[in-house]
Amino acid sequence: MHDVAQKTIKGGMWMTGALNVVASAHFIRLAVLARYLTPDDFGLMAMVLVVTGFAQAIADGGISNAIVAYNRLSNDQLSSIYWFSLLLNLLIASTLILASPALALLFSRVEVGTLLGIAAVLFPLKALGHQFRLLLQRELHFQPVAIVLGASEAVALALALFLASAGFGVLALLYSMISAAAISSIAFLVVHAIVLRTPIRIRLKRSDLRPLYGFGAFQLGERAVNYLSANLDKLLLGKFAGASALGIYDLAWQLISFPLNRINPIVNSVLLPAYAKLDDKKKRATYYANSVTGLSLLLIPFFVFVTFYAGEIVSLVFGSGWEKSADVLKLLSIVGFSKVIANPGGSLLLALDRVEVGFYWNLAWCIATAVVISLALLVSNSEISVALAMAGLAVSLGLYWHKIVADISGAKYGSLVSKLSVGASVCVALCGLSRWLLEGVLVLESSSLLFVAALCISVSYGVYLFWFERSFLVAAKELFK
């Protein structure tokens, strides 16, 4: 366990560093493009990404996680998986091109069809290198993975800024995504050949894939349903309220998604192989409980801060014209926190080979999301009503997910609930006090207000963790020895 833990810690450090680079690049790209594009432009891009994201969720037939979860796949099986995935992605790209006119009609915007035709090239590009990345992660080689991710995103950022300044509009974002996919795939292929040298032959046989059908079927179904439940808000809002409302909503969602999109990949790529390599049920349950508790304690200040300072954040990052996104951002911060602390449970169930649980849960969540959001749009056809509906689901139904994981894994949530309640109360008090002092007493301007508030709250919360949660930090450290 010590060796796995040490590699996990180092892997987490490398992945955190790389994904911080990715997050920074994404943040800068979003902030710059918000000054060039309108809410309608962002709404168009959100429509495209809803479609391509669903296709990406099913692009490997549901079997890529088997490469990480199962340590004894033969070279023949790996070869068949690779070529199956590549051919499937070529099929998806072709289907997307053919279906783009119909999808444009669905959203009542002809521009969607053109953008989808361009975005189709992402699928074969990503498939070329995705398996090599997974093989590196399976063997806990996180350093090269981190370097490739950071470098490819840095190049994509430079391209996006150049194209945006040249007047490419929405295409600046799309072309930068394509460049990142191409660079990372080629790099993973080369790095894998140097580090692991697992041979990938030209081989595609049903017998190699048959043992993975059950795993893949549930993974495929779970991903498809999970993606729909996570994006039904955008799909329905774009269809019934239009591109501008979707653009306002999506920009707020992208801002709150920064910790989700950067932390969740770390959780999946680091914790999944770690859970899979731990055979002792009690240690695995303890490892999981501490993972969720640690994430909660570290991230609750961010989401509470966003709720209190949403207006200033939107104004500073996106400039003028996006004021409506601030109210949406406040509500989506609840959704973001719920998703972050739920993610380790998904990795744990994968390691326990209980993929069917995730599938059925996401199916139930998808149905609930469709019903609640449809009702919300009937009451008020706006971005605020959808955000309010999503926050309500996160607070109510989202909590039941943790009970399911606890029942299966044996994890104990008593300490987590206690620590989270106290931590959240401390953060609310700190944010409320800072808001009153800095705005009512010192009367600072927007950017200075954010900087001083973030600094004061971070230092104060750090002191709280040191004095009142030191025992947890020591226990977590001992767990990895």
Q: 93 vs 99, 104, 399, CA distance in Å?
A: 10, 16, 37
356 exposure class (CB count in 10 Å sphere: 0-12, 13-18, 19+) = middle
Q: What is the pLDDT of residue 314?
A: 92
Tell me the whole-structure pTM to 2 decimals. 0.78
Question: What distance in Å separates the CA atoms of residue 312 and residue 324, rounded to the nearest whole number?
Answer: 12
Rounded distance between C-alpha atoms, residue 30 and residue 153, angstroms: 13
pLDDT at residue 252, rounded to an integer: 93
Residues 434 and 255: beta-carbon distance below 8 Å: no
Max alpha carbon distance in the chain (Å)?
72
How many other CB atoms are found less than 10 A from the CB of residue 112? 24
Environment class of 341 (CB within 10 Å of its CB; exposed 0-12, middle 13-18, buried 19+): buried
Beta strands in 165-321 (DSSP E): none
Radius of gyration of the chain (CA): 22
- In the block, tokens 């340590």 appear at 71
Residue 471 CA, distance from chain mean position: 30
- Residue-by-residue pLDDT tens, the chain, 481 positions: 455 556 566 666 666 677 677 777 778 888 888 888 888 888 998 999 999 988 888 777 667 667 776 667 788 888 888 888 899 899 999 999 999 999 999 998 999 999 999 999 999 999 998 888 888 877 777 788 888 888 898 899 899 889 888 888 889 889 999 999 999 999 998 988 888 777 777 888 878 777 776 666 767 776 777 788 778 899 999 988 888 999 999 999 988 887 777 677 666 666 777 777 777 777 777 778 877 887 888 888 999 999 999 998 998 888 888 989 999 999 999 999 988 888 888 888 877 878 778 778 878 888 998 899 999 999 988 999 999 999 999 988 888 888 888 888 777 777 777 878 888 899 999 999 988 887 766 666 667 778 888 898 999 998 988 888 777 666 555 544 4
- What are the start-end ranges of the H helices in 58-109? 64-69, 75-107
CA angle at 385 for the pair 384 and 391, rounded to the nearest 5°: 90
Q: What stretch of H or E contains 428? A: helix 414-435
φ, ψ of residue 432 to 5 degrees: the values are: -65, -45
pLDDT of amino acid 474: 64
CB-CB contact of 283 with 480 (8 Å): no
Residue where the block lists tokens 């990372």:
184
CB-count burial class (<10 Å; 0-12, 13-18, 19+) for 76: middle
What is the pLDDT, as a whole number, of residue 125?
A: 94
Q: What is the pLDDT at residue 1?
A: 46
